[in-house]
């Protein structure tokens, strides 16, 4: 079968031509197996997340697999085999992969190995999903195989054997309902039903109706004959929208839910219902953004500032970025919503890519609770309240509110360890050169920038001029628990990391919760909320601390009754701080806009694009030396990081202009590949859009 491999003589060009002709006539394999008559070559993406193997490989299609080996199916292939002296293929591990195309011939110069097995005839990798995954891999300097692992759930044979339910006819277009509170709301729904792709950044009104509004947008899209997809940050939020959608659509038949806690079988069954077109609407947590909804008309991302939208697995893509890229590729509408607004959301509005979907100020004021601020200096007289370090205003507000309903107390989690801040006004201390966060090095309290490493000998606060610094320490949880003693006879419930409550009754109770774990209160909501130790949130060493703090506050405050019904929020934090001001005015959009302007001025993301390079000092320097960075790329650092398993670690940040993010990712990926080719290179981590750069 391979005796024609070395034709005698002839000029090289002609030789190449002969080879070409021979191979095109019929692909050769190592075993001379019988091949498929039609399209005997399968192009395969092999599920091996190695950067330098991020390419397709061609395999021969044995005749027995001619029908099942269709584009999109899962296959097993031998990969990495060697050719022995006797001319036999030897070794080669079996790897999973997907067929991406069937071809008449291969451009590979050599004999093709046959597909080992078609795992299932189910065509799970659609052309659209493949294209999207490639885009995401490139965006994040990762491999296609890594992204596919996030995008396509593991197969479950039993779930696959079951037939999916028959598709339902589209529902009738829903009435605008509570979307009428937004001037552009009904128009937005009408555009979805008409099959248009409107794009909106939605500032949701406080209160319990946002799940219904998401459900209405989904139903409007379904009514127009297109599909819809909703990504939410956690299972609790999914459950709320699931309930709203089930009610609105008169049953659970028209939508599918994808969350991790369903278990592999149920999850795969639901995913297949979407993939097979049985169901046109899907909601779930972050992986849902990849769900292969047929004729996708709408992508909804709720609370895009929530960190669970950032995937912890390589290459760490963010749901919002995936959704925006997918909407562009598939001509779908976008609804990027939340009680808060991210800087990225503000940027989409600023550039005109999306339009705002927000209620008028008067409606906001009617819906939101009253917000009072109180500095830490204000101390309660009551001994128990003092033990809980509860300011008197907060103490009085709680006592008053407990007469009419439950009171929510938000306490920052332990483990928020902020860096240095001004001792007087608590403005975070930043580097004069690159605006990175300052940190104390050693006991001598020498200051240096955590990003660029430049010493800050003569620091003073840019806000108030103070020279005094304060190392922030948090020890708040126990303080909150003291509240139980401060209010004898009142039941105390807690909700936090390990035990999150979904809801509480409308009876008076103290509900102590860490941010993000707040239970919903039945009836009209909490009578009051106390947001304690705000400084601990505000001074976290993160570029997004302000935005994040406001998001956490708004999420808690949105569970409180409207001001007209007596709802009151007391926030214990520096009253002049920007997020505090934004909370008082209930103006998340204004806050995001200010943050955006500041980021632009400082050259921070998302106005610039960044990548972090982490590893041993030698390896980081090595990679940076190899990388052919785009014109005008800034290098910040490298700076030392805490050692990992006794090994010194450094991190460098790279910054480029917007529009050069793709070039930056490509340059870093190429440098990584070049380093792998060198022997014994220590690993370096590359992360695009690093999240923890404060």
Partner DNA sequence: AGCACGCCGACT
Partner DNA sequence: GTCGGCGTGCTC
Q: Per the annotation, does 165 bind a ligand?
A: no
32 binds DNA (CB under 7 A): no
Query: How far apart are CB 114 and DNA at their closest, in Å?
Result: 8
> Does the annotation list 103 as a binding residue?
no
- Judged by CB under 7 A, the stretch of 55-63, 314-322, 433-441, 557-565 that binds DNA is 55-63
**Spatial distance between the Cα atoms of 238 and 202, rounded to a whole number of angstroms:** 18
Among the residues of 140-263, which ranges form H helices? 144-151, 157-161, 185-193, 210-223, 235-248
431 is an annotated ligand-binding site residue: yes
The answer on whether 461 is annotated among ligand-binding residues is yes
Question: Considering only residues 408-427, where is the footprint of DNA by CB under 7 A?
Answer: none
Of 45 and 510, the one with the shorter C-beta distance to DNA is 45
**Cα–Cα distance, 395 to 549 (Å, whole number):** 22
**Do 221 and 193 form a contact (C-beta atoms < 8 A)?**
yes
Asked whether residue 83 is marked as a ligand-binding residue, the answer is: no
Tell me how many residues contact DNA (CB under 7 A). 30
Closest by CA to 74, choosing from 41, 121, 115, is: 121
Distance CA 436, CA 453 (A): 9
Binders of DNA among residues 72 to 101 (CB under 7 A) are 77-85, 89, 91-92
Peptide bond into 606 cis (omega under 30): yes
Identify residues 109-168 at the interface with DNA (CB under 7 A). Answer: 110, 112-113
Least CB distance to DNA at residue 80 (A): 4
Answer yes or no: are the C-beta atoms of 152 and 47 closer than 8 Å. no
CA distances from 258 to 138, 162, 366 (A): 26, 18, 36
- Report whether 35 contacts 29 (CB < 8 A): yes
If the CB atoms of residues 6 and 351 are measured against DNA, the closer one turns out to be 6
Among 40, 45, 59, 144, binds DNA (CB under 7 A): 59
**Measured from the CB atom, is 12 or 659 closer to DNA?**
12
In the complex, minimum distance from the CB of residue 642 to DNA, in angstroms, rounded to a whole number: 24
Pick the piece of the chain touching DNA (CB under 7 A) from 103-111, 418-426, 455-463, 605-613. Answer: 103-111
Q: Which is nearer to DNA, 92 or 423 (CB)?
A: 92
Closer by beta carbon to DNA, 54 or else 242: 54
Query: Is there a binding annotation on residue 262?
Result: no
Give the nearer residue to DNA in terms of CB position, either 53 or 666.
53
C-alpha dihedral sign at 528, 533, 536, 539: positive
Residue 71 makes contact with DNA by CB under 7 A = no
Query: Is there a binding annotation on residue 422?
Result: yes
Distance CA 255, CA 184 (A): 26
> Are the C-beta atoms of residues 670 and 611 closer than 8 Å to each other?
no
Taking the least distance from each CB to DNA, the nearer of 42 and 504 is 42
Burial class (CB in 10 A: 0-12, 13-18, 19+), 45: buried
445 is in an annotated binding site: no
Applying CB under 7 A, the span of 52-60, 264-272, 464-472, 544-552 interacting with DNA comes to: 52-60
- In whole angstroms, the minimum distance from the beta carbon of 672 to DNA comes to 8
180 vs 647, which CB is nearer to DNA?
Answer: 647
Cβ atoms of 40 and 63 closer than 8 Å: no
Of residues 28, 45, 47, 57, which one binds DNA by CB under 7 A?
57
Give the SS3 label for residue 333. Answer: strand
DSSP state of 404: T
Chosen residue from 52, 76, 196, 350 binding DNA by CB under 7 A: 52
What whole-number distance in Å separates Cα of residue 28 and Cα of residue 59? 10
State yes or no: residue 50 binds DNA (CB under 7 A): yes
Query: 81 or 666: whose CB is closer to DNA?
Result: 81
Q: Which tokens is 152 given?
A: 């396509």
| Strand blocks (E) in 17-108 | 41-46, 56-60, 74-79, 82-83, 89-90, 93-103
The residue among 52 and 196 lying less far from DNA, judged by its C-beta, is: 52
Cα separation, 33 vs 24, in Å, equals 17
Nearest to 374 by CA among 532, 585, 536, 582: 532
Give the β-pairing of 568-572 and 370-374.
parallel
**In whole angstroms, how close is the CB of 10 to DNA at the nearest point?**
22
3-state secondary structure of 19: helix
Residue from 325, 676, 685, 691 in contact with DNA (CB under 7 A):
676
Residue of 377, 443, 499, 677 that binds DNA (CB under 7 A): 677
| Closest distance of CB 111 from DNA, Å | 7
Looking at 299-342, list the stretches that DSSP marks H as alpha helix, in order from N- to C-terminal side: 319-330
Give the residue carrying structure tokens 């992969």. Answer: 97
32 phi-psi bin (left φ>0, alpha ψ -120 to 50, beta other): left
Residue among 171, 183, 175 nearest 228 (CA): 171
Window of 108-116, 193-201, 509-517, 561-569 that interacts with DNA by CB under 7 A? 108-116
Interacting span for DNA (CB under 7 A) from 53-61, 232-240, 371-379, 629-637: 53-61
CA distance 40 to 523: 65
Give 503 or 683: the residue with its C-beta nearer to DNA. 683
List residues binding DNA (CB under 7 A).
50, 52-53, 56-60, 77-85, 89, 91-92, 106, 108, 110, 112-113, 676-677, 679, 681, 683
Query: Residues within the annotated binding site?
Result: 422, 425, 431, 434, 449, 452, 461, 464
Query: Residues within the annotated binding site for Zn(2+)?
Result: 422, 425, 431, 434, 449, 452, 461, 464
């Amino acid at each position: 079968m391979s005796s024609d491999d070395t034709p005698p003589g002839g000029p090289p060009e002609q030789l190449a031509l002969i080879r070409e002709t021979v191979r095109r006539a019929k692909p050769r394999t190592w075993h001379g197996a019988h091949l498929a008559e039609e399209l005997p070559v399968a192009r395969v993406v092999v599920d091996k997340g190695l950067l330098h193997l991020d390419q397709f490989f061609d395999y021969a299609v044995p005749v027995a697999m001619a029908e099942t080996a269709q584009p999109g199916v899962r296959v097993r292939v031998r990969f990495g085999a060697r050719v022995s002296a006797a001319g036999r293929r030897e070794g080669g591990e079996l790897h999973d992969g997907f067929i991406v195309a069937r071809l008449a011939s291969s451009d590979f110069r050599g004999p093709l190995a046959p597909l080992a097995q078609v795992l299932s005839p189910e065509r799970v990798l659609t052309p659209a999903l493949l294209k999207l995954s490639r885009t995401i891999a490139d965006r994040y300097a990762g491999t296609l195989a890594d992204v596919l692992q996030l995008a396509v759930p593991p197969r479950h044979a039993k779930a696959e054997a079951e037939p999916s339910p028959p598709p339902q006819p589209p529902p009738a277009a829903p009435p605008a309902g509570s979307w009428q509170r937004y001037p552009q709301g009904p128009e937005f729904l009408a555009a979805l039903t008409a099959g248009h792709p409107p794009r909106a950044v939605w500032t949701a009104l406080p209160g319990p109706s946002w799940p219904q509004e998401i459900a209405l947008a989904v139903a409007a899209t379904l009514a127009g004959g297109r599909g819809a997809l909703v990504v939410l940050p956690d299972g609790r939020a999914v459950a709320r929208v699931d309930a709203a959608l089930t009610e609105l659509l008169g049953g659970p038949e028209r939508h599918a839910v994808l969350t991790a806690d369903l278990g592999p079988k149920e999850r795969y069954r639901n995913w297949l219902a979407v993939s097979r077109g049985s169901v046109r609407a899907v909601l779930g947590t972050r992986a849902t953004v990849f769900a292969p909804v047929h004729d996708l008309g709408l992508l909804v991302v709720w609370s895009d500032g929530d960190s669970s939208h950032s995937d912890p697995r390589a290459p760490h893509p963010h749901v919002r970025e995936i959704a925006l890229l997918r909407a562009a590729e598939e001509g779908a509408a976008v609804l990027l919503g939340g009680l808060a607004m991210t800087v990225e959301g503000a940027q989409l509005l600023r550039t005109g890519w999306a339009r705002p979907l927000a209620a008028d100020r008067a409606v906001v004021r009617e819906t939101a609770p009253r917000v009072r601020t109180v500095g830490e200096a204000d101390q309660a007289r009551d001994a128990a309240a003092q033990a809980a370090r509860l300011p008197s205003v907060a103490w009085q507000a709680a006592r008053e509110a407990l007469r009419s309903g439950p009171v929510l107390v938000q306490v920052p989690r332990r483990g928020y360890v902020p860096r240095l801040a001004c001792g007087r006004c608590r403005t975070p201390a930043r580097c004069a050169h690159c605006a990175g966060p300052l940190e104390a090095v050693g006991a001598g309290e020498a200051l240096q920038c955590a990003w660029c490493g430049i010493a800050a000998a003569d620091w003073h606060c840019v806000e108030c001029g103070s020279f005094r610094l304060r190392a922030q320490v948090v020890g708040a949880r126990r303080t909150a628990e003291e509240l139980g003693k401060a209010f004898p006879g009142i039941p105390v419930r807690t909700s936090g990391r390990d035990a999150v409550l979904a809801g509480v009754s409308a009876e008076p109770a103290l509900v102590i919760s860490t941010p993000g774990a707040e239970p919903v209160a039945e009836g009209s909501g909490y009578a009051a909320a106390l947001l304690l130790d705000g400084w601990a949130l505000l001074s976290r060493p993160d570029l997004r601390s302000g935005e994040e703090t406001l998001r956490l506050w708004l999420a808690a405050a949105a569970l409180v009754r409207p001001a007209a019904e007596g709802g009151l929020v007391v926030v214990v934090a520096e009253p002049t701080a920007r997020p505090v001001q934004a909370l008082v005015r209930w103006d998340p959009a204004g806050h995001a806009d200010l943050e955006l302007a500041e980021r632009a001025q400082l050259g921070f993301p998302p106005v610039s694009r960044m990548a972090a390079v982490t590893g041993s000092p030698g390896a980081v320097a090595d990679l940076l030396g190899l990388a052919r960075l785009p014109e005008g790329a800034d290098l910040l650092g490298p700076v030392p990081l805490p050692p990992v398993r006794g090994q010194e670690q450094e991190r460098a940040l790279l910054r480029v202009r917007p529009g050069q993010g793709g070039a930056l990712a490509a340059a870093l990926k190429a440098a990584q590949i070049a380093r792998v080719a060198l022997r014994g290179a220590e690993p370096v981590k590359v992360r695009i859009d690093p999240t923890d750069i404060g």
